[in-house]
Structure 1
Amino acid sequence: MVKALGEDLPKEKFDELEKFIDSMQTTKGALIEILHKAQDIFGYLPRDVQLYIARKLGIPGAEVYGVVSFYSYFTTKPRGKHTISVCMGTACFVKGAERIATKLKEKLGIEADEITKDGLFTLKYVRCIGACGLAPVVMVDDKVFGRVKEDEIDEILDKYRS
């Protein structure tokens, strides 16, 4: 076990990440690919994982953190099993995304960037999903739900609860 911000991160996960990095032809220009793999393995990118990657690639930790903090896909905090993203782009906002977000917060009992008590869901707001014609849009993991109405939220959540 490796301690990270009060957590124990399994050595096996570091071993898996090391094996992935070592299997690459070259790591030059591969930071984003490695971060994706690390997030797949750990579920998020805590500081210790970022520093491990920096050491393996021979680059500053600040460079790794800069990439992690720039892209909204990456997270430094644990997430629930399913990530619910509410698009807050202009088209979605105008078509009621704020009401959808409020309803989701109420149903899940959490605020944005929090995890439900059962560890099943994380709620987050995103700038734009790129499906403006389907506004308002909610994404659960990689599935897009378009023209979402408040009364459809229970049905959407139930698909992921079972």
Structure 2
Amino acid sequence: MVCGCDGTTHHACKRRAVPAGTARPSDWPVALAWPHQGQEPSLIPALGYVRGNTPRAFTESERQRKNISAWADRTGHLMVGWVEDVLTDGTGANSAGLEELLTRVESGEAKVVAVEEYHRLGRLRGPVNGWIARLEGLGGRVAQTGKAAEGVE
């Protein structure tokens, strides 16, 4: 088990020991290390970031969580935590949640911050690029998980 569930709840938690010498399947996620000598594959810890606007915050955040979780299953990541921000009309600011992500990455909880689309990090490119630079300075990275990441417009 990876997350503490019963071992069958999440695809990532199912035991997948591999007999020694087994070739890596062509559909195996690139981000997921192929095990050796019967070891289980290792999952990459990630933090999910969801941001909604006040009128539709619940439905937006649930949809974003589902999309990010599906990405994690496809790519060999384990969602170890979530940070959720709700934007207040007119502010465009979500710095508390972004600061929390930096703190959690710095502590070693995860090195990947998964976000459905980059625009969820903020509306202004300059501050978002500055935040991404700070994250990378801590050894982290942002993974965009939505349609734009798959090349869909």
Q: Which has the higher contact order (CA 8 A, sep 6+)?
A: 2
Q: What is the TM-score normalised by the length of structure 2? A: 0.27
Q: What is the TM-score normalised by the length of structure 1? A: 0.26
Q: Greater CA radius of gyration, 1 or 2?
A: 1
Give the number of the structure whose residues are more often strand, by fraction. 2
